[in-house]
A and B are shown apart, each in its own frame.
Chain A
Amino acid sequence: MTNPRLLEVEDLVVRYRTRRSVVRAVESASFTVGEGETVAIVGESGSGKSTTAYALLGLLPRAAGVTGGRIAFDGRDLTALPERGWRELRGREIALIPQDPGTSLNPVQRVGAQVAEAVRLAGDADRGAARTRALGLLADAGLPDPEAQARRYPSELSGGMRQRVLIAIAIAARPRLIVADEPTSALDVTVQRRVLDHIGGLVRESGTGLLLITHDLGVAAERADRVLVMRSGAIVERGTPGEVLSDPRDPYTRSLIEAAPGLARTPRPRRVRLTAVPGGAPGDPFAVKPDALPDAVPDVVADGPVLRVEGLVKEFRAPRSSGTVRAVDDVSFAIPRGRTYGLVGESGSGKSTTARLILRLADPTAGRVFLGGEDITGSRGGAQRLLRRRMQIVHQNPFASLDPRRPIERIVTDPLASFGLGSRAQRRRRAAELVDLVALPSSVLRRRPAELSGGQRQRVAIARALVLNPELLVCDEPVSALDVSVQAQILDLLAALQAELGVSYLFISHDLAVVRHIADEVGVLSRGRLVESGPTEQIFAGARHAYTRELLDAIPGRR
């Protein structure tokens, strides 16, 4: 009864016309999706996976076109379908769950109305019936208390809830095929798991076909019946998750397996070895080191912890009421010199607030922060500014954290210029040194951020954070905005930099699998409280707290 060839794609070729050339985005891709079947396409940014998805929906941008091959849906040839034909198919037969829940909903319309609109477009329901059905759909999509949520605006919902609204819209017309384009890439792992569980359940119950586009092989392997790996527009690997994981034929697949943080049973061996040795004292790279030994290994044992926080509390005034909200609640931990402490928790668990308190970007309500034994809790003005020489931050989003108008050299040396350290020539040399240290070619020095990829930009941000020789580097979700494969490179780089420079990290992430590869110790934050803390492998071997176990279960590909 079920149709094993609901969607048939044969030798699909998609090209983009640019001003100067033609880019082959998809090169002769062939695959099928059956009813009730989940097929995952895995690949990194630019591999052509999203282009394939949009070709199936007739939503390619103007500059792109299907120049060869065949797309057939339930026996109908869609390749030469006019726009009007697509409109009847899209939403009703083939639905899309878009990538970014932040921008895919109309911000000035209540979400209930947006789902009801999809219901009305799908069939002949009248206004009242559409509203009732919209509530049912929101419930089906796993949104708690749909009656109340339907009256809210997208900005009042969290990312996970918005994604569920998008799912409700996608299933409104009971489509026969759902294309999910990175449906959970913008979400926390725990939320990702709940959302994917839900999509999976819907697909199984209704016999819908699902084409899941993702950059994370862990997600694909866990959720799909069949996995396709795409690279540079071509499908390089196909098979069941078991086949692909245990016996990858293409070297690219192998590297993707290694890159997926959740697939490793043990921490990955660190592969990057660095050679450059930047000198200088902490806070001033140009100062002459008193004991300039050629291979001075940082003295790990002699010193106390580089950072210690005790009973840190931060309260915010609650919106629209007189009470307060405790964002950080009695958090204490210490980071030994040259080590990494991983702080893990969901969005809103207080981990970024903790980082801001440590960096003195906000004042704690109670508690103390010690940097190298010195109490910095009450530092202000000039003294506070001097602290920046000893601790630096790497932000989550490398697309926002670099000044778009300045060349990379100036961006990297900006902290030096802020403190008036070194001559122009010295700074230039230091920039070249650091760019080399983070494994970027020296030619990037003259480029501007827009000319670099996300991974390259994050390397620049790391170079900038290291330019002052800080003792502590706070990494606030440094890889969450990056593809899995690029994540692995950045994590390797951070580990190698630590081995080389002896810098300590506070590594903040929502993903325990990522933290595992970098942290010596892990603290788990839930609603502002540190619920569990200890050596990383100990947490992985036997987590005591229920929330930690939930985080562990959420790691894709672990089950």
Chain B
Amino acid sequence: MPATDLALTTGEHVPEPEPADRPGHARHLLRGLLRNPWLVLSVIWVGLVVVAAVEPSLFAPGDPLEVDTGARLQAPSLGHPFGTDRLGRDLFDETVHGTGRTLPAAALATAVGLGAGALLGLLAGFLRGIADLVIMRLVDVLLSIPGLLLALMLVAVLGKGDTADVGLAIGVAAIASTARVTRAEVLRVSASGFVEAARTGGARRTRVLLRHVLPNSMGPVWALTLLLFGEAVLGVTTLSFLGFGAQPPTPEWGSLVSSGRDFLGGAWWLSILPGTVVALTVLAANRVSRAFEDEGTGR
């Protein structure tokens, strides 16, 4: 912001910079959105999926568990947009109602991965020394095990096999990467001038950490949230595809894809259509996440 220090001789008169134009900012944001149709579609899709998770009957008023043996394995049609499965249940209803299982599990996974990871990274980056060493070696161990394998092991240990366990397992597997990102940011911010200024201003360590380091290092971590969420959706469906988590007949995206597997030759829609929903959700989450990242880094 140059040219605001033109007042030379008086020293007392400092011209004010132009006030930030808030409504203009909103309009600018709107125009930016319109120039990105894919981003708009992604936002809409994520929104629809979230609504479906909260209130599935809005889109699918029918009962997803209603068996109609007269209409088994029917191809997609106007009456059954996603077709029907081997018991004549409406696949669209099942998919929509499955959202209510998959999404909360993915959200739990994101919260665990983000919360625990950010906390560990923050402690490691701020305390340094022995705490840093111990935490980061643990993170290295976590990273050395493939995420899905780790999640499988955890679900096996947790045992009961409902969707919450699956979410927890996926979340733990995601801790390592969040911890690393957070630690790097905390290190960067801790070295900056305003942190030293806060220290010389007499702030205690906890105050410096909570008021100055934490808010300034969370930007990239927030951008990671939706990315992590997309990955968690994929992870949760993968685990339930493998038979963990929600058990049939409870509809869930992964188990829907799995149960359609045996009919791929004659009834392709049973796996392909729920699978497409999963893929679109992950892609949409990634696209929105990238938009946040661009915004965070000043485009």
Contacts and interface: CB of A to CB of B under 8 A. Distances in A.
Interface stretch (B5-13, B138-146, B236-244): B5-13
B28 A19 contact: yes
B38 interface: no
A164 interface: no
Interface in A408-463: 414-415, 417-419, 439-441, 443-444, 447, 450-456, 459, 461
B235 to A, nearest CB: 33
Contact of A392 (B14, B201, B207, B211): B201
B37 interface: no
A464 B20 contact: no
**Which applies to chain B's interface (DSSP): helix, strand, loop or mixed?**
loop
A385 interface: yes
Interface in B4-43: 4-14, 16-17, 19-20, 24, 28
A493 B196 CA distance: 24
Given A388-B201, A392-B200, A403-B216, A46 B12 contact: no
A441 B201 contact: no
A443 to B, nearest CB: 6
B5 A485 contact: yes
B1 A452 contact: yes
Contacts of B28: 19
Given A414-B203, A418-B207, A451-B17, A404 B1 contact: no
Contacts of A456: 4-5, 14
A51 B14 CA distance: 25
B5 A464 contact: no
Given A400-B192, A418-B204, A453-B5, 7 more contacts: A255-B8, A401-B197, A414-B198, A417-B207, A439-B11, A453-B17, A456-B4
A443 B16 contact: yes
B215 interface: yes
A488 B8 contact: yes
26 contacts: A45-B5, A47-B3, A232-B6, A255-B8, A258-B8, A258-B9, A271-B10, A272-B12, A361-B200, A388-B202, A400-B194, A401-B193, A401-B197, A402-B197, A405-B216, A417-B207, A418-B201, A441-B14, A447-B20, A451-B1, A452-B1, A453-B1, A455-B5, A464-B197, A483-B5, A486-B5
A206 to B, nearest CB: 34
A443 B20 CA distance: 11
B248 interface: no
Given A272-B11, A385-B202, A489 B16 contact: no
B79 interface: no
B4 A403 contact: no
Contacts of B5: 44-45, 453-456, 483, 485-486, 489
A272 B17 CA distance: 22
A395 interface: yes
Q: Which of A392, A395, A403, A454 has the most CB of B within 10 A?
A: A403
B12 A259 contact: no
A468 B200 CA distance: 12
Interface residues of A, number: 59
Interface in B172-204: 192-194, 196-204
B249 interface: no
B266 interface: no
B190 to A, nearest CB: 13
A395 B215 contact: no
A252 B202 contact: no
A21 to B, nearest CB: 11
Interface of B: 1-14, 16-17, 19-20, 24, 28, 192-194, 196-204, 207, 211-212, 215-216
Contacts of B202: 385-386, 388-389, 415, 418-419, 468
Contacts of B20: 447, 451
B8 A252 contact: yes
Given A388-B202, A395-B196, A439 B12 contact: yes
Contacts of B11: 271-272, 439, 488-489, 492-493
Nearest to A359: B200
Contacts of B13: 439
Q: Which of A20, A397, A404, A418 has the most CB of B within 10 A?
A: A418
A213 interface: no
B194 A489 contact: no
> 6 tightest A-B contacts by CB?
A46-B2, A400-B193, A46-B3, A388-B202, A255-B8, A415-B201
A385 B204 contact: yes
Interface string A476-487: 000000010110
Contacts of A400: 192-194
A388 B200 contact: yes
Nearest to A448: B20
A19 B9 CA distance: 33
Contact of B201 (A20, A271, A272, A414): A414
A466 to B, nearest CB: 11
Nearest to A455: B5
Contacts of B17: 447, 451-453
Q: Which of B12, B196, B216 has the most CB of A within 10 A?
A: B12
A272 B12 CA distance: 7
A530 interface: no
A6 interface: no
A232 B28 CA distance: 28
A232 B3 contact: yes
Contacts of B200: 359, 361, 388, 392-393
A447 B16 CA distance: 11
A283 B192 CA distance: 26
Contacts of B2: 44-46, 453
Nearest to B194: A403
Contacts of A388: 200-202
Nearest to B16: A441
A485 B8 CA distance: 6
Nearest to A490: B11
Contacts of A401: 193-194, 196-197
A485 B5 CA distance: 8
A505 to B, nearest CB: 15
